Amino acid sequence: MCQGPHRVTNRRAEGETRGAGPLDGRNVATPVAGKATLAIVTVDGAAKNDKKMVREAEVVGVEWLSPGLVRLFFTGEDLRGIPPLECTDHYIKFFFPPKGADYSWPFDPALLRTTLPAGQRPVTRTYTVRSFERESNTMAVDFVVHGDEGLAGPWAAKATPGDRIGFRGPGGKFIPDHSADALLVAGDEAALPAIAATLQALPADVVAEVFVEVEDEAHRIELPVNERTTVHWVHRDDHSHGVGLAQAVRNAPYPDGRVQAFVHGNAHMVKDIRRYLFVERGLEKARASISGYWRTNYTEDAWQASKHEFVAAMEAEEAAAGQS
Ligand SMILES: Cc1cc2nc3c(=O)[nH]c(=O)nc-3n(C[C@H](O)[C@H](O)[C@H](O)COP(=O)(O)OP(=O)(O)OC[C@H]3O[C@@H](n4cnc5c(N)ncnc54)[C@H](O)[C@@H]3O)c2cc1C
């Protein structure tokens, strides 16, 4: 866990133990609906860490955090097998039948992928685990409600207690660097869950400059901040996603000292800020966790399919800009 290209050196906080990660045991709120009574189910008595394992979750609570962000609380026997969550950007992939398919959960994703024609196979949508409270076996996930298009957003907007869904994961890579002087954070609504979880786990002596783009003032949410964290809210108003955010990051003073960066959200916004950090500020790539969570006018499937090419073009532009 917490390994990969974004891994950074981390000094474990005093008193923090393995198996009690930043997301473990720190639920963000109590679900509004009652929880099912569950037996503890483990595999050979141990939590099974299998990212590909298909698990089922049941909605037990719904809380609207803003007009465009809904938090769903999930429980279910399968959640007991979720391994320790040691990163602050853990994500899971929910399974959905594509639009027009004549089946619904429960289904076997692996089987349907081999037996159904391409357009009817189940697809996945990626979401951050905002928190997982092991004691009550409750997982919170915050969904951006971005209109009628798509599968996950519209599903979450209508979800009610008792609804069930399949998912796999969690994966995750990022953890705040306890030896950094400053953490520079930028993201949009889709990144708010990971940003909030990161701020919650931030060492008290690290300065955090946090830039968040939301539609307007009504879409701001409360973030877990300490006195060394400054949140700069950017309102999109009539601009395209990410334009105002990238501008705000560029216009702000660059933090002093050893900087770590966490930048996620709309792909075009990420591209712009990435270039600023790597090319103009000379930030080492190993000190940054940067990725496009979604792309305007692309479904997640289409974005994932085009991501390799998008990233290659972005890197080529950065390399050319670095030489000029
Ligand atoms: C690691 C990771 C973690 C993520 N965590 C979260 C999270 O915690 N919460 C969250 O809400 N999202 C999160 N996302 C983003 C989410 O996976 C995408 O937004 C996904 O496309 C939503 O699926 P959908 O079925 O609603 O829309 P899709 O079917 O994928 O897309 C339909 C249309 O909606 C547009 N669209 C998609 N997302 C948005 C958006 N956020 N705002 C405006 N338009 C959009 C697309 O461009 C497309 O035109 C994460 C992504 C990654 C990679």
Q: Is the pLDDT of residue 266 over 70?
A: yes
Query: Rounded to two decimals, what is the model's pTM?
Result: 0.90
Under 8 Å between Cβ of 289 and 195: no
Could you tell me the distance, in angstroms and rounded to a whole number, from the CA of residue 241 to the centre of ligand 1? Answer: 13
How far apart CA 146 and CA 69 sit, in angstroms, is: 9
Q: Within a 10 A sphere around the Cβ of 147, how many other Cβ atoms?
A: 10
Sole residue written with tokens 């992928």: 113
Sole residue written with tokens 């949140």: 231
Q: Indicate which residue's Cα is closest to atom 10 of ligand 1.
A: 190
How far apart CA 165 and CA 183 sit, in angstroms, is: 35
3 state SS of 229: strand
How far apart CA 198 and CA 175 sit, in angstroms, is: 7
Q: Is the pLDDT of residue 51 over 60?
A: yes
Ligand 1: atom nearest CA of 297 is 49
User: Which amino acid would we find at residue 194?
Assistant: A
Helices and strands (H and E) in the chain: how many: 6, 12
Tens digits of per-residue pLDDT, 209-243? 999 999 999 999 999 999 999 999 999 988 999 99
Tokens of 303: 């974005």
pLDDT at 121: 98
Give 12's DSSP letter: P
- Report in angstroms the alpha-carbon separations of 176 from 203, 228, 247, 298: 8, 14, 24, 30
Sole residue written with tokens 């969690």: 170
- Mean per-residue pLDDT for 130-143? 98
**CB-based pocket (< 6 A), ligand 1:** 91, 125-128, 142-144, 146, 149-153, 189-190, 193, 293-300
Could you tell me the distance, in angstroms and rounded to a whole number, from the CA of residue 189 to the centre of ligand 1? Answer: 10
CA end-to-end span of the chain: 38
Instruction: Describe the chain by its helix, strand, coil percentages, rounded to 5.
Output: 25, 25, 45
Domain residues of the chain, as ranges?
A: 1-174, 182-323
pLDDT at 37: 24
Could you tell me the distance, in angstroms and rounded to a whole number, from the CA of residue 261 to the centre of ligand 1? Answer: 21
> What is the DSSP pairing of strand 164-171 with strand 55-66?
antiparallel
3 state SS of 307: helix
Report which of 239, 288, 240, 248 is spatially closest to residue 268, judged by C-alpha positions: 240
pLDDT at 19: 37
| CATH number for the domain whose boundaries are 182-323 | 3.40.50.80
Q: Is the pLDDT of residue 301 over 60?
A: yes
Bridge partner residues of 187 (DSSP): 212, 264
How far apart CA 144 and CA 165 sit, in angstroms, is: 17
User: Which amino acid would we find at residue 42?
Assistant: T
Tokens of 135: 């004691």
Range 1-174 classified under CATH 2.40.37.10: no
Q: Is the pLDDT of residue 16 over 70?
A: no
Q: Indicate which residue's Cα is closest to atom 21 of ligand 1.
A: 300
Report which of 270, 286, 133, 246 is spatially closest to residue 197, judged by C-alpha positions: 133
How far apart CA 43 and CA 305 sit, in angstroms, is: 35
| Summary mean pLDDT of the chain | 88
Could you tell me the distance, in angstroms and rounded to a whole number, from the CA of residue 151 to the centre of ligand 1? Answer: 9
Q: CB pairs under 8 A, 24+ apart, for 306-314?
A: 310/267, 310/271, 314/271, 314/274, 314/275
